[in-house]
Amino acid sequence: MSGNYHFGGFRLDADQRLLFDPEGRPLNISTRAFDCLLILIENRGQTLSKNRLMSAVWRNQIVEENNLNQAIFSIRKALGDSKADSQFVRTVQGQGYCFTAEIDRPVASANDAAGNPAPADAAVDIPCAEGTPGDQHPAVDSRLKLPDHTVRWAMAMSAMLIALLAAVIGSQNTMPPAQASLEVGAPAVFKPSQVTYPPVIANSIAVLPFAVLNPTPEDDLFALGLHDELTNRLSKVSSLNVIARSSVLPMAERYPSPNELGRVLGVESVMTGTVFVAAGRARINLQLIDPLTGVTRWSSRYESATTNLPDIMTIQSDIAQSVASTLETQIQPAEQDDISAIPTHSFDAYRYRLAGKSAYANLDYPQALALAHQALALDPDYYDALTLLANTHIVLVGRPLPGMTSDMHYRKARDTADRMIAVAPEKPDGYIRKALAFATNKQWTEAVALYRKARDLNAPLSQMNMFAPVLMSVGDFPSAIEILDANLRYDPMNLFGRGFLMAALEAAGDSARARAEYRIGDELKAVWSGDTFNVFLALGRREPLEDIDDIPQMNVSVRDMLKHIDDTPRIAAAIIDHMQDTTDLAPADMLYLSAMAAYIGRPEQALAILEITLQDVWYNIYFVWLPIFKEVRQLPEFAPLLARSGLIEFWQVNAFPDICHPTRSGVTCK
Phi-psi region of 115 (alpha: psi -120 to 50; beta: other; left: phi over 0): left
Is the pLDDT at 172 greater than 80, yes or no?
no
Domain CATH for 145: 1.10.10.10
202 with 90, same domain? Answer: no
Choose from 18-32, 156-170, 465-479 the range with maximum mean pLDDT: 465-479
Domain that holds residue 627: 530-635
Tell whether 362 is covered by a domain. Answer: no
Tell whether 333 is covered by a domain. Answer: yes
Lowest mean pLDDT among 94-108, 126-140, 469-483, 521-535: 126-140
Tell whether 444 is covered by a domain. Answer: no
Are the C-beta atoms of 632 and 598 separated by less than 8 Å? yes
Tell whether 432 is covered by a domain. Answer: no
Are the C-beta atoms of 179 and 243 separated by less than 8 Å? no
189 with 331, same domain? Answer: yes
Residue 286: phi and psi, rounded to 5, are -130, 150
Tell whether 117 is covered by a domain. Answer: yes
146 with 196, same domain? Answer: no
Boundary residue ending a domain (286, 312, 341): 341
Chain CA centroid to CA 468, Å: 17
- Cα–Cα distance between 594 and 552 in angstroms, integer? 19
User: How confident is the model over 581-598, as a mean pLDDT?
Assistant: 90
Q: For residue 160, what pLDDT is reported?
A: 25
Q: How confident is the model at residue 85 (pLDDT cuts 50, 70, 90)?
A: confident
202 with 142, same domain? Answer: no
Tell whether 109 is covered by a domain. Answer: yes
130 with 204, same domain? Answer: no
Q: For residue 137, what pLDDT is reported?
A: 33
Lowest mean pLDDT among 380-384, 456-460, 537-541, 592-596: 456-460
Number of domains in the chain: 3
User: How confident is the model over 603-611, as a mean pLDDT?
Assistant: 96
Element (H, E) at 84: none
pLDDT higher for 463 or 139? Answer: 463
Domain CATH for 293: 3.40.50.10070
Q: For residues 191-212, b (16+ Cβ closer than 10 Å) or e, as one string?
A: eeeebebbeebebbbbbbbbbb
Q: For residue 617, what pLDDT is reported?
A: 78
Tell whether 171 is covered by a domain. Answer: no
Return the closest-CA partner of residue 274 out of 249, 253, 244, 299. Answer: 299
Q: For residue 143, what pLDDT is reported?
A: 33
337 with 296, same domain? Answer: yes
119 with 192, same domain? Answer: no
203 with 78, same domain? Answer: no
Q: How confident is the model at residue 196 (pLDDT cuts 50, 70, 90)?
A: low
Tell whether 133 is covered by a domain. Answer: yes
**Three-class HEC string of 374-394:** HHHHHCCCCHHHHHHHHHHHH
Q: For residue 632, what pLDDT is reported?
A: 97
- Cα–Cα distance between 576 and 351 in angstroms, integer? 49
Model confidence, pTM: 0.65
Boundary residue ending a domain (341, 367, 383): 341
189 with 128, same domain? Answer: no
pLDDT 10s digits, 255-269:
778 888 888 888 999
What DSSP assignment string belongs to 508-565?
TT-HHHHHHHHHHHHHH-SS-THHHHHHHHHHHHT-----GGG-TT--HHHHHHHHTT
Q: For residue 62, what pLDDT is reported?
A: 54
| Cα first-last separation, the chain | 60
Return the closest-CA partner of residue 589 out of 627, 566, 620, 544. Answer: 620
Q: For residue 127, what pLDDT is reported?
A: 56
Q: How confident is the model at residue 479 (pLDDT cuts 50, 70, 90)?
A: very high
54 with 100, same domain? Answer: yes
268 with 219, same domain? Answer: yes
Mean pLDDT of the chain: 81
Is the pLDDT at 46 greater than 50, yes or no?
yes
Lowest mean pLDDT among 111-120, 332-341, 552-561: 111-120
- Size (the chain), residues: 670
Boundary residue ending a domain (305, 324, 341): 341
95 with 203, same domain? Answer: no
